[in-house]
Amino acid sequence: MSESANTIQFFTGFRFNDLGFLAEAAGNTLLISVISISIGSVLGCLFGWALHVSVLARYILGSVLDIFRSVPLIIQLLLFFNFFPILGLPLEPFAAGCIVLIFYTSALVAQVARGGIEAVPDSMRRASRSLGMSYLQDMRYVVWPIGARAMLPAWTGVALGVLKDSALVSVLGYLELLRASQILITRTQEPFIILAIVGAFYFALSYPIGKLSAKLEQRWQYD
Amino acid sequence: MLDASLNSDIQLKLFISLASLLSSGTHMDYTFHWRPVIKALPDLFSAALVTLEAAVLSMLLGIIFGLVLALMRLHGSRPLSLFATVWIELARNTPALLQLFFFGFGLGAFGWHLTPFTIVLCGLAFNNAGYLAENFRGGFQAIPAPQYKAARSLGMSATQTYTRIIIPQVFRLVYYPMTNQMVWAVLMSSLGMLVGFRELSGETQFLASNTFRLFEFFLAAAVFYYLLVKLILLAAHLLSRRLFTY
């Protein structure tokens, strides 16, 4: 039949090249997660310190950060993404996703950091101050080493959570792992295989970090 | 409700059109219109109840599966404990949205077309069970072994020992993490909007695209979620006072 020569092929099977496409998308997932986790953690530690030090901050900053933890991330992303065009400054999906994830991370890390600071016994800090250390020295040489160890498991949990939650930025149109999977599924019509591969990518990103942190935690216990 | 037989193709298209809808268009002169939101408040309220329902049901399923998984991992034979480990690690190391898509589109590949509600329920229960199982495991390990021996030597059967001595104490130990998980379940149920489930987010998305008041509607949804979470925390606090004082 001459018709068959003109038939357009809508769907094509899963090809080896597609793994490269998925790997690139995994790189994007990693990029947005690393940026938001690193900046968010620094901010979160500052917020956590503020929550620990000042009662006023506990009321004002605490309740603001509480909003980030009580509203679904997807709603935060959509709100933020739709808010900037109102101001006349449309944002790229990547930028909007980064900003929301940074604040989301910092809200979660603030709580963890505050717990870490409070895990250092008061008597220890008084001892360091009475040995002549300044407040900053006390923070740097006493509170940080002990607090960081205390907060490591919870911080890893937050970091892995953000790595996985970065999947939601796909809703804004950022080409990360999950969005790449949607594109491939539309083309190949093989959702099961592709979702399994994408799951394996996420697993490969997340599982080693969790194991590493568990190992570190165990080692630090006997120091 | 959307048609229950909505298949994965249409859901995919919904997801993509949602993404393109939200990523297009800039409004330079925007005026806020709150009237559509106020008119839709009853709808939003009933949608919030659907969210709560999905979260509570998924939490109950998650607790049951989580307990079984924790016991399987601790005391099960090798294949059982391997099964539990695989479930737990998969649930904890992949995004919840991927898990939902798996129950939605992934199973669709085998001709199993679940309704949006079932997709969300299965996805959330799978996720909750994985996280809760790890909490329960910690709880079981924290109960001193002599208690088990004491209960058995008083003539209790193994089942009695677990249901009357061990599990009540475990619940008390993991009460706070469980409350947290409940909050997560409410927040995660918002992902239902991407598989066509009309809970709070799905309803908001529907109303917002009908009226083009995206920002106003999503802000209203955010307030609803905030109140819902606070309500759950308050209820958990009151319940804990009643349950755990002697």
Q: Closest chain A residue to B101 measured between Cα atoms?
A: A195
- B5 — pLDDT class (breaks 50, 70, 90): very low
Q: Closest chain B residue to A178 measured between Cα atoms?
A: B98
User: Which residues on B lie below 8 Å from A72 (Cβ)?
Assistant: 187-188, 190-191, 201, 225
Task: Write the pLDDT tens digit of every residue in B199-235.
Answer: 999 999 898 888 888 888 999 999 999 999 999 999 9
Does any domain span residue A25?
no
Does any domain span residue B24?
no
Does any domain span residue B3?
no
Residue with tokens 């990523």: B23
Domain count, chain B: 1
pLDDT at B2: 42
d(C-alpha A127, C-alpha A131), whole Å = 6
Measured between CA atoms, how close is A45 to chain B, in angstroms?
22
Give the one of B94, B201, B214 whose C-beta lies nearest to A199's C-beta: B94
Considering A100-104, B9-13, B25-29, the range whose residues carry the highest mean pLDDT is: A100-104
pLDDT at B22: 55
User: Which residues on A lie below 8 Å from B201 (Cβ)?
Assistant: 72, 74-75
Interchain pair A192, B109: CB under 8 A: yes
Q: How many CB atoms lie within 10 A of CB A209?
A: 14
Does any domain span residue A18?
no
CB proximity B187 to A under 8 Å: yes
> What ipTM was predicted for this assembly?
0.86
Does any domain span residue B180?
yes
- Alpha-helix runs per DSSP H in B76-174: 78-93, 96-101, 107-108, 116-142, 145-153, 158-160, 167-173
- B93, B102, B131, B190: best mutation site toward chain A, by most A Cβ within 10 Å? B93
CB proximity B23 to A under 8 Å: yes
Does any domain span residue A26?
no
Whether the per-residue pLDDT at B109 is higher than 50: the answer is yes
Does any domain span residue A100?
yes
Q: Give yes or no for a contact between A136 and A98, defined as CB atoms under 8 angstroms apart.
A: no
What range does the domain containing B113 cover? 40-243
Q: Closest chain B residue to A181 measured between Cα atoms?
A: B98
Q: Closest chain A residue to B227 measured between Cα atoms?
A: A70
d(C-alpha A47, C-alpha A203), whole Å = 31
pLDDT at A189: 84
Whether the per-residue pLDDT at A35 is higher than 50: the answer is yes
| Per-residue CA distances from B213 to A79, A86, B238 (Å) | 11, 11, 38
- The DSSP code sequence of A12-38 is ----HHHHHHHHHHHHHHHHHHHHHHH
Domain count, chain A: 1
Task: Write the pLDDT tens digit of every residue in B119-147.
Answer: 999 999 999 999 999 999 999 999 998 99
Interchain pair A178, B191: CB under 8 A: no
Whether the per-residue pLDDT at A127 is higher than 90: the answer is yes
CATH of the domain at A121: 1.10.3720.10
- A6 — pLDDT class (breaks 50, 70, 90): low
CATH of the domain at B188: 1.10.3720.10
Mean pLDDT over each residue of chain B, to the nearest integer:
87
What range does the domain containing A108 cover? 35-179+188-221
Does any domain span residue A9?
no
Task: Write the pLDDT tens digit of every residue in B31-49.
Answer: 788 888 888 899 999 999 9
A15's tokens: 């090809």
| A62 Cβ neighbours under 8 A, 6+ residues apart | A51
Whether the per-residue pLDDT at B29 is higher than 80: the answer is no
